Amino acid sequence: MSSRTFEDKEPRARESSGFEFLKGVGQVTGGTLLFITMLTSSIVAGGLVGLAVSFRNLPDVRQLRNFFPSETTYIYDVKGKLLASIHGEANREVVTLDRISPNLKRAVLASEDNDFFSHHGINPKGVGRALLVNSQGGEVSQGGSTVTMQLVKNIFLTQRRQFARKIAEAVLAIRLEQILPKDQILEMYLNQVYWGHNNYGVQTAARSYFNKSAENLSIAQSAMMAGLIQAPEKYSPFINMKFAKQQQQIVLRRMQELGWITQKEHDDALKEEIKLGKIRSFQGSALPYVTNAVSQELAKKFGRDALLKGGMRVQTTVDVDFQRMAEQTVSKWHGRLTGEGLYKNQIALVAIDPRTHYVKALVGGVDSKTSEFNRATQALRQPGSSFKPFVYYAAFATGKYGPDTTVYDTPVSYRDGDGWYYPKNYDSSFSGAMSIRTALSQSRNIPVIKLGKAVGMNKVVEICRTLGIMSPMEPVTSLPLGAIGVTPLEMASAYATFANYGWQSPATVIVRVTDSSGNVLLDNTPKPQQVLDPWASAATIDVMKSVISNGTGKNAAINRQAAGKTGTTSSEKDIWFVGTVPQLTTAVWVGRDDNKSLGRGATGGVMVAPIWRDFMLRALKNTPSENFKSPSQFPRPKSN
């Protein structure tokens, strides 16, 4: 006999439809059953129409025309490799009916509702049998539910077995079939039903059980999945393959009896070896720090509920291989620093393309398995002297100062509240007259404080805000020494704006976000704006080049033109190196979570610059060397 399609509407005796309707009622004669079935068919068919009028407080099924079930959000790297799936209770990926294997459609209908295409929401024969069994047992133990009834129960009603709820199911099912076509109801059902192990809908279930899409399921796999619906965890092949095979055999036999598969297809399916996938719900991310940052950005933009239930498809800016290279660099240097006495050290690294402000690597700590805290985006740490370029930029932007302007590294004091503030250098010495270039390359404190006072600390704060540094800061005398809290992401983004001569796009880890249908929700194609003066930006880069060529950042030299700045806070609690080439800007921070000192002699130039150098050499291995533009290529701002 040839196989018939699942849409065949020829009436057939329904022996079980996935429910053991006659279990425990063997004493009932065939005549009695026929009489009761006919009687209940008449009552149900005519009576429920009248009941529908009285059930005015039931949910309005018309809202299902625009119903969107909660759906899992998927995060991918820049090349499309899956990094993580994020969801609440329901792990679900919605698919259209034409993307579901006909084998699975036949198997589910054979098991649950083989008269689906001929009834109008309820199946009188099934309800009659269920009422008989329930009346014998004195409780609701059999359902008699059609696919439509199961759908409205799953969406609108509780799972508690009560006669009133069964009537409500029937009423809602009749109403639903009046407004939605059968194919749409079946599609909604297959995407709504629970398949076990936190898998909701056919697609996530197929990927979990068999590591394939729902549209590619074989007859054998489809029959096994259909057999799970009644008790997913009980019949799960992950838990008990013997039970799963027994259910599969029941479904296959039912499909063959209905003529929906041939005898040969039945026999071949029984012989087919079942190769299981793996339970996927609540799996960890391939790149936890990246997906953590993505989740923060999505929740801020769309809200946490949309993140967990909105079914978004997120393309990130990060390449898996590049990110893992960054993570390996951090892990290697964590071990080295520990060996050098910097115990309990943590390291954060952020790399950004200054031309797009896309984040290319983001490492929030030495081991995401032991600590999920993302120090790259969440830790507010003092930047120390790596803050100084912001002050020098403010001076350059006035047009009154240039890289070779003379400043004085001499003793000075300032009234600070009720007392006096006597700033000093790291080595407690003074070096007298020097150029701004020398003052920055040698990281002298006195000149930068004097310049900050000259241009106005409020102006320095304003520039920091323009650069995207939103941490609290006050225009106090010590501000130029970095006595505020910032994140490595903020520092990398700010330096990237200098490297792009004042052009800026918002720093992001997300390229694009769509819904599950492909509609664009967020497009982060760079739209750069000129936020800083180009000459002052180029001048800032120019003096930072001297930091690496002959200053405190010599350990960051990478045999190509680069600019950067070391940072070391008082008591050596935070040490930094932030640097850039035209194609890549990277911030590296080292410190301890308990905010204790790393130890005397722990400086950004000695301890962190080598980490930056190691990472940049690997990151730029196949990237051609480029030089920065000279300040002379831009018009110098006119001084006021």
Report, as residue numbers or ranges, the catalytic residues. Answer: 112, 385
Give residues with Cβ within 8 angstroms of 185, minimum separation 6. 147, 148, 151, 176, 177
Q: What CA–CA distance (Å, rounded) separates 171 from 579?
A: 68
How is residue 337 written in tokens? 């620093």
Q: What CA–CA distance (Å, rounded) separates 114 from 260?
A: 10
Give yes or no for a contact between 241 and 235, defined as CB atoms under 8 angstroms apart: no
Concatenated DSSP letters of 80-92: S-EEEEE-SS-EE
**550 burial level (CB within 10 Å; 0-12, 13-18, 19+):** middle
What ranges in 211-240 are assigned the alpha helix state H? 219-226
* Helix 241-257 with 263-271: angle, nearest 10 deg: 170
Q: What CA–CA distance (Å, rounded) separates 358 from 38?
A: 69
User: Between vectors from CA 496 to CA 388 and to CA 426, what angle results, nearest 5°?
Assistant: 20
| Closest by CA position to 205, among listed 225, 230, 231, 186 | 225
* Helix 102-112 with 147-156: angle, nearest 10 deg: 90
Concatenated DSSP letters of 15-59: S-TTS-TTTT-TTS-HHHHHHHHHHHHHHHHHHHHHHHHH-TTS-
> Which pairs with CB-CB distance under 8 Å and at least 24 residues apart come from 629-632?
629/501, 629/538, 630/538, 630/542, 631/402, 631/403, 631/535, 631/538, 631/539, 631/542
Helix (H, G, I), strand (E, B) or coil at 445: helix
How far the first Cα of the chain sits from its last, in Å, is 95
Query: What torsion do the CA atoms of 105, 108, 110, 115 make, to the nearest 10 degrees?
Result: -80
Q: What CA–CA distance (Å, rounded) separates 175 from 191?
A: 20
Q: Return the DSSP state at 381.
A: B
DSSP H or E segment with residue 200: strand 199-200
Q: What CA–CA distance (Å, rounded) separates 260 from 272?
A: 18
Q: What CA–CA distance (Å, rounded) separates 373 from 98?
A: 43
